[in-house]
Structure 1
């Protein structure tokens, strides 16, 4: 009988293990670079100084076709590699309402920009939790708006710009007294090969040259790494950012890194493989490219309904700044809604730290009445139906205690009282709540669902729907029915 050969005894298996060991050793010690053991000031532990990744030139672009087949929904591959949460000591919000937010709608007027900038200042509070906002400075109108906002003398939000990568534009930024500007540095092979028609080295050299021009005139660059969630991370992104950090150290001028999830491909889950892993991207910037949290910023889009959660995860894993726009207005499905991140901040920190969330309601009303932009009614925090209910069982709960069906004290935090819309499903409770809310009745005068007035209104509502009505009852109609009831009551008296 032939003895079964153990896998461990198989010469091919031993040869394979030797190959893996040699490969691993070559990675660690390639080009004379051995791991160093150094203390990490963030974790307070001894850690290995990681291998420094170098640019990998390729003849053909890496388009990750297994992940992004284009004719199918993008895939979410897992590699089960986990990275630790490491929220920075300080986190904040930045704004792109006047840059990315203007790329999907008609341009704001100078007056509208100034008004919104004032409201951003009040919303962000004295501690500057809304730290910066960025502007175009291409046109005369853009520059006029910047000048008028600068004349207000606010420390926050600080005014920054976004420009074409030319020496003339850098000088314009400097002449206007703007300290920081955004520079587009597309980083996926989709953009490098297909849009720019360059090799990776040509793209990197071009980007570094542009950054050098900014440093030359004393302007702080903010590098927008476009399409990072489809980029070859360790073969292009990390080597490029390592070069940027070296330039920053040499010049003494901070260079910010904005990670742009341009197509909304980012995934917040643990154990997801790069390039879609938000935790993995943020961890890699800090541990393989030496980017400190305060120079790291996340900019996301909402194509797959993950803008807010991806932004929150970026905070959790070490990114200090989240770039947003008011009401989430931005290209295609929009940007990260700034108002949502105000509440994410308060949820994570346990306080608003000086922010005034009631300004959010003022901003929504300004868009509706002054700008003519109608917020989708279901939009959290700002939509007309945000804290409105049509269900009778919910209205009954609100009538007993609004905390049962209201996410928090919306009157206190957003200056918005919970609302009930009367329809065929509202019932007596919904009508009673509507009356109390619409007429702002004090506690001692509030009506219950058994009140004769409520019964009268409900009979009228039921009759409307039994006759084939399919629309909601308007406030004006209800007020008219109540007026009829009161007149009838007075006549009887």
Structure 2
């Protein structure tokens, strides 16, 4: 039989290639749950077929936020005032170029709707306020009532959801989804289709045929139809040559190349069940997704989402610039969550944890005191308004204690102490006594603050220092 596919020019690499086969919907009678990869009574398996896809890093990439949607599904709801305050922080963090492009909200409670109205009243171009709904016409009425320009729509795509949760066939569920998307487009609202559980889905038998239909609707209505690839269970892997549906780059390649989804209409939503949320998200950028969906501090379902602050620094490393993002806001957000919301940030959390740039080992502390670049990842004082700290132990000496006091209390100039300061000498005497009596652990910040307060009281030191 004569080959009917056209030879076309690929604008990405200027090489001739055969036009891709179309992918029809495979309407199976029984669900394909990929038991060979996900046996459930065993640890999931990572298989390889060594099919390698090319990098396709978009010219522009950005971050989207789900702190008020997925982030709220795993904790006590934020108050309206807290949501508005955090939204202000996100606006500042994203900078003048709006690298944090969107933030999505629930619409179901009055509190959530009040927060949406107050955030929209801010008049910020970025982050754009968007919503999230289930694929139901009742939910869509909420979007129309508020006047949203874009809404996310839950379109679960694995057979686990289609057969076991929704009790439909693939064709039935696709027709249902398309009817809701079409209604969304009829009113001029841009839909963002959340392909839930994509890393356990039949990519060629359902996801690509479905997305092809979505792209046809986008062309028909001349309105963008966005695709969010949701690694709902954290099964995605970024190893070259891994098989789909677990391969992140394989999924992104399939959506852009076979389903024709433009990079600017594609984003990745990751979870951290297997510690891969950040690396998978970065991989999605590298292989063609412009958007990465995140949540502040990774707060989200089960093990959480991709942390927003992590992708800020991934962005800077990939692009070679922060593009105006104000990273000191990350520290302000961490302090707000800790002091005002009462959220406990694990102390070893990168960028925001209490101990993330604290050096404890004696030999490392000595190196940091001589030159902080030796044991600090970058100028944390400049980018996060957090000076590198040296924890105090029996090896710290007077200089180490002085460094801790100046760093912790942010003392500079005439307010700074040196190793001859009476306060430093007194603290050193207490530290030496602790270790002479058999202590083997480092001194905690709380202990140092207490002993410094005791010394202040004993020596009648004014309140202008050590606040």
What TM-score comes out, normalization by structure 2 length?
Answer: 0.92
SS of equivalent to 2:68: coil
Output one character per residue of 1:92-142: Cα deviation in whole Å (capped at 9) or x when no partner.
Answer: 000001100100001110000000001100000111100000011112111
SS of equivalent to 2:246: coil
Q: CA RMSD in A?
A: 2.3
Output one character per residue of 1:199-219: Cα deviation in whole Å (capped at 9) or x when no partner.
Answer: 111111111111112112221
Q: Retained in 1: the 8 A contact 2:151–2:189?
A: yes
d(CA) in 2 for partners of 1:225 and 1:427?
57
Q: Kindly state the Cα deviation for residue 414 of structure 1 after the two structures are TM-superposed.
A: 0.6
Q: Retained in 1: the 8 A contact 2:203–2:244?
A: yes
Q: Retained in 1: the 8 A contact 2:392–2:442?
A: no
Please tell me whether Structure 1 or Structure 2 has the larger radius of gyration of its CA atoms.
1
Q: Retained in 1: the 8 A contact 2:56–2:287?
A: yes
1:73 and 2:43 equivalent?
yes
d(CA) in 2 for partners of 1:394 and 1:443?
28
Q: Retained in 2: the 8 A contact 1:396–1:429?
A: no
1:220 and 2:193 equivalent?
no
1:476 and 2:446 equivalent?
no
Correspondent of 1:326 among 280, 286, 296: 296
Q: Kindly state the Cα deviation for residue 471 of structure 1 after the two structures are TM-superposed.
A: 6.9
SS of equivalent to 1:61: coil
Q: Retained in 1: the 8 A contact 2:427–2:452?
A: no
Correspondent of 1:410 among 380, 383, 390: 380
SS of equivalent to 1:182: strand
Output one character per residue of 1:342-385: Cα deviation in whole Å (capped at 9) or x when no partner.
Answer: 01001111111111111001110110111111111111111111
Output one character per residue of 1:367-418: Cα deviation in whole Å (capped at 9) or x when no partner.
Answer: 0111111111111111111111221112111111111111111111111111
Q: Kindly state the Cα deviation for residue 286 of structure 1 after the two structures are TM-superposed.
A: 0.8
Output one character per residue of 1:409-436: Cα deviation in whole Å (capped at 9) or x when no partner.
Answer: 1111111111222245656664342144
Gaps of 5+ in 1: 1-24, 488-493
Q: Retained in 1: the 8 A contact 2:423–2:452?
A: no
1:377 and 2:347 equivalent?
yes
1:16 — aligned with what?
A: none
Q: Any residues of structure 2 matched to 1:87-486 within 5 Å, and which?
A: 87-424=57-394, 426=396, 430-438=400-408, 440-442=411-413, 447=418, 457-467=427-437, 469=439, 472-473=443-444, 474-480=447-453
SS of equivalent to 2:157: coil
Q: Retained in 2: the 8 A contact 1:104–1:331?
A: yes
d(CA) in 2 for partners of 1:247 and 1:52?
17
Cα–Cα, structure 1 residues 71 and 168, in superposed 2: closer, same or farther, change >3 Å?
closer
d(CA) in 2 for partners of 1:475 and 1:461?
9
SS of equivalent to 1:239: helix
Instruction: Out of 132-141 and 459-468, give the one that drifted further.
Output: 459-468
SS of equivalent to 1:355: coil
Cα–Cα, structure 1 residues 441 and 478, in superposed 2: closer, same or farther, change >3 Å?
farther
d(CA) in 1 for partners of 2:453 and 2:130?
53
Cα–Cα, structure 1 residues 459 and 254, in superposed 2: closer, same or farther, change >3 Å?
same
Instruction: Out of 428-437 and 57-66, give the one that drifted further.
Output: 428-437
Cα–Cα, structure 1 residues 397 and 451, in superposed 2: closer, same or farther, change >3 Å?
farther
Instruction: Out of 417-426 and 286-295, give the one that drifted further.
Output: 417-426
Q: Retained in 1: the 8 A contact 2:362–2:393?
A: no
d(CA) in 1 for partners of 2:104 and 2:397?
49
d(CA) in 2 for partners of 1:438 and 1:415?
11
1:11 — aligned with what?
A: none
Count the aligned residue pairs: 456
Q: Kindly state the Cα deviation for residue 298 of structure 1 after the two structures are TM-superposed.
A: 0.2
Q: Kindly state the Cα deviation for residue 454 of structure 1 after the two structures are TM-superposed.
A: 6.0
1:84 and 2:54 equivalent?
yes
SS of equivalent to 2:74: coil
